[in-house]
Amino acid sequence: MKLFLDTADVAQIQYWKEVGILDGVTTNPTHLSKEKKSPQEIIKTICALLPQGDISVEVTQQDPQQVYEQAKAIAALGKNVTVKIPCQLQYYPIIKKLVAEGIRVNVTLLFTLVQGFMMCKLGVSYISPFVGRWDDNDINGIELLDSLRDMIDSYGYETKILAASLRTVRHFHDALAAGADVATVSPELLAKSVHHILTEQGIQAFTADWAKLGITQFP
Ligand code: E4P
């Protein structure tokens, strides 16, 4: 499974890149609205930081023709850019056109198996099911990942499942277990996920026992 960071915070992307576990980044208008620099400048910086990574950038227009033109301009920001487009019927024709033109599309705000199926038929690179936002509405978002995985495997589609809106360590765990192709997680969730209290306690116990030997050099 690939791991993307769900943020537009360049310092966080730099940090996790150096840790060595990052395959890409997903941004959205909300993430970009929190940053001081211009969205264009930030996207270019992220693209340069992760030249081999996959960087998702969302359209902000609404009219389909304008979304089409904006999608092309966004794709031109970097070779590693994937354009995020919301999962709405009005965009189906332009999604199909963009895919035919070789532009990688990540369909976002996806909430049902049928929406996922439609996007597979259009040949998009990624679908982004929003797990946490389903859970906010008392529906098990992880079940959607399971059914999308079954559907894609049964019919042999190429589209990748990008598990999004993951809010808890359990969501992250379940996305892995469901066979998502990518999980995108916030820097806060990633930091929380990599720690375990038993690891910390184990290190403390080993360190204390080793100190009893009074050895200064080993080996
Ligand atoms: C990812 O592509 C989405 O932008 C993100 O995961 C949304 O997460 P949220 O539902 O926590 O805002």
Q: 3-state SS string over 9-67?
A: CHHHHHHHHHHCCCCEEECCHHHHHCCCCCHHHHHHHHHHHCCCCEEEEECCCCCHHHH
The rounded Å distance from CA 167 to ligand 1 centre is 9
| Catalytic residue (choose from 34, 72, 79, 84) | 84
pLDDT band of 68, cuts 50, 70, 90: very high
**Mean per-residue pLDDT, 197-202:** 97
Q: Is 125 in the pocket of ligand 1 (CB under 6 A)?
A: no
**Mean per-residue pLDDT, 34-46:** 97
Has 2 been annotated as catalytic? Answer: no
- Provide the pLDDT for residue 155: 98
- Provide the pLDDT for residue 165: 98
> Which residue stretches of 29-186 are H helix?
29-33, 39-49, 64-75, 92-100, 113-122, 131-135, 141-155, 169-177
Angle between helices 92-100 and 64-75 (to 10 degrees): 30
pTM > 0.75: yes or no: yes
Instruction: Specify the residue with its C-alpha closest to ligand 1, atom 5.
Output: 165
Whole-number Å distance between alpha carbons of 7 and 100 = 29
Q: Is 130 in the pocket of ligand 1 (CB under 6 A)?
A: yes
Instruction: Specify the residue with its C-alpha closest to ligand 1, atom 12.
Output: 165
- Residue 89's φ and ψ, nearest 5 degrees, are -55, -40
Q: Is 135 in the pocket of ligand 1 (CB under 6 A)?
A: no
What's the chain's Rg over C-alpha atoms? 20
Q: Which amino acid is residue 183, in one-letter code? A: A
Q: Is 82 in the pocket of ligand 1 (CB under 6 A)?
A: no
Whole-number Å distance between alpha carbons of 159 and 124 = 6
Whole-number Å distance between alpha carbons of 213 and 85 = 61
* Average pLDDT of the residues of the chain: 97
Contact assessment for residue 163 and residue 184, using Cβ atoms and an 8 Å cutoff: yes
pLDDT band of 200, cuts 50, 70, 90: very high
pLDDT band of 132, cuts 50, 70, 90: very high
